[in-house]
Structure 1
Amino acid sequence: MRETGRDRWGGASGFAALAVGALAVVFERGAPPVGASEVEVAAFHGAHAQALLMQSLLFLVSSAVFLWFVGCLRTHLTAVEGGSGRYAGLVFGAGVGYVALSVTAQAGQIALAQVAGAAAPSLVAAVGALSWALFTVAAVPAAVMLAAFAALTAGSPAMPAWLGWTAAVAAAAQLGLLAGVVVTTGPLAPGGWYTFAPYPIYVVWLAGTAAVLLRRPASAARSGDAAPAGAGR
């Protein structure tokens, strides 16, 4: 009973990460126009410095809670997978890498907000570019985490089929962010509309996975009782 309770707290942490992240989105101010000058970039971030700092604070809290969720998810997926737990380990390791890069990117945004009003525009633009780069490369471990989850749950009665497909689509969408490494104009460029497009899919995956962990703890997965999770397939 105590183990089941801990498992369900793990599921609840997924919803907590979503809730804090949603609160952080309230402070979203978009981004400077694609191709903006250094002066325009500095002015934009200087005007929104307090909102950026509050957003970073909330995203850091959300990242901490998500890290807890990923640890609990590994236990659940190991029980589902059995054996060596290879894919469960991939989900966990890539999830930790995703959090690490995301937190580092938030450090860049904090520095950006703090220097935007006083530093030279060229320095502000450089810090901003570094922060965007970190957010972009964080898509690599995010995509691996989601792809490993999709591979593990494919055909498994322990997870709803739609959840695995959602993870696969979310993984592909994350990889699309890497276009920002070489594209400097248009929707795929950093700050273009595609920058924000993958996250609704990711939110659906996270909410669905957290719901499964709440409804069907790892102890149930080990017992082979697949009915609760499979009912919605």
Structure 2
Amino acid sequence: MSEGHEMRWGGLAGLASLVLAVVAGTLLRGAPRITASSDTIALYLTNSRDVIMAAAVLYAAAVALFVWFGATLATAFRLPDPNSDAPAVMLAGFVLTGTIGFLGASILGGAAYALTAHPMLIGLASAPYSAVAVVTTLAGMAVALPLAACAAAIARTGVLPQWAAWFSGFVAVIRILGALTVLGGAGAIAPGGVLATYLPGGLTALWIVVLSGLLVREHLPVIQPQRRRTPGPA
């Protein structure tokens, strides 16, 4: 396809966003759970300010690349089927997810900075920290939107292999189930827990790798925009 190389750059952006997010998550691997005491959370935010700020910057860069990746996917599906709403819904979902991710990283970094600059706020440390964890879990609903739209677009256009549509739909369902754990989950299904965060996040990371890989390999057919046929002579 004529847009092949641009699609490849979008795939590379998706892989780069995942790498940055993994590095940021590694920096925050020692973060306490939201069920920890307020003193534990406050001590972590105070002593790990530089690490948290670095992770916030990496997450912000990852969000920008993630949206680029989403725009590329939306374009790939829009070209063969310009009358479908799926590409627009997909792009809107990526932008919504990116906005939530950027705000979450900003709140976490801002809380760590504020606590070190204004020690009198130390008693409020657990509030923004817990809020970020809950918002991150609820963001699964937003992530499910572009995943579901991607599944519909693949099934409709055949631009990517059909198994990718099933995989996208499966990950969308897992993201929704993970988001529902905020209704009262505890232990492994509490916000920030294994089933609420790590399992949906791992599957989403795998989805990004798969879809980005298909774009990088330019595993796309030659796409020509559909044109409406003008009626011929009777």
Amino acid at match of 2:124: L
Query: What displacement does 1:218 show?
Result: 6.8
Q: Tell me what 2:130 maps to.
A: 129
Query: What displacement does 1:162 show?
Result: 2.7
CA 1:127 to 1:76, structure 2 compared with 1: closer, same or farther past 3 Å?
Answer: same
Query: What displacement does 1:92 show?
Result: 0.6
Q: Tell me what 2:174 maps to.
A: 173
Q: In 2, Cα distance between the equivalents of 1:59 and 1:222?
A: 36
Q: How does 1:1-233 map to 2 (within 5 A)?
A: 3-80=3-80, 82-117=81-116, 118-154=119-155, 157-183=158-184, 185-194=186-195, 195-216=197-218, 220-222=222-224
Judge conservation of contact 2:138–2:180 (CA < 8 Å) in 1.
no
Question: Where do 5+ consecutive residues of structure 2 fail to align?
Answer: 227-234
Query: What displacement does 1:2 show?
Result: 6.8
The CA deviation string for residues 100-149 of structure 1, in whole angstroms up to 9 with x for no partner, is 01101111110122134424343111111222232123222111111111
The CA deviation string for residues 142-199 of structure 1, in whole angstroms up to 9 with x for no partner, is 1111111112223754212332222112111211232342225211212322222211
Judge conservation of contact 2:9–2:216 (CA < 8 Å) in 1.
yes
Local SS of the residue matching 2:187: coil
Q: Which stretch of the first structure deviates more once superposed, 99-108 or 64-73?
A: 64-73
How many residues of Structure 1 are paired with residues of Structure 2 in the alignment?
223
Query: What displacement does 1:28 show?
Result: 2.4
The CA deviation string for residues 69-107 of structure 1, in whole angstroms up to 9 with x for no partner, is 111111101124x14131111111111000001101111
Q: Tell me what 2:230 maps to.
A: none
RMSD: 2.4
Amino acid at match of 1:209: L
Amino acid at match of 1:215: R
The CA deviation string for residues 13-45 of structure 1, in whole angstroms up to 9 with x for no partner, is 112212222222331224424532222221232
Question: Where do 5+ consecutive residues of structure 1 fail to align?
Answer: 225-233
CA 1:176 to 1:112, structure 2 compared with 1: closer, same or farther past 3 Å?
Answer: farther
Local SS of the residue matching 2:223: helix
Q: In 2, Cα distance between the equivalents of 1:84 and 1:179?
A: 33
Amino acid at match of 1:202: T
CA 1:184 to 1:34, structure 2 compared with 1: closer, same or farther past 3 Å?
Answer: farther
Q: In 2, Cα distance between the equivalents of 1:72 and 1:220?
A: 16
Q: In 1, Cα distance between the equivalents of 2:120 and 2:74?
A: 44
TM-score by length of 1: 0.84
Q: In 2, Cα distance between the equivalents of 1:33 and 1:205?
A: 26
Q: Which stretch of the first structure deviates more once superposed, 71-80 or 114-123?
A: 114-123
Q: Tell me what 1:228 maps to.
A: none
Judge conservation of contact 2:77–2:159 (CA < 8 Å) in 1.
no
Task: Answer with 1 or 2: which has the greater Rg.
Answer: 2
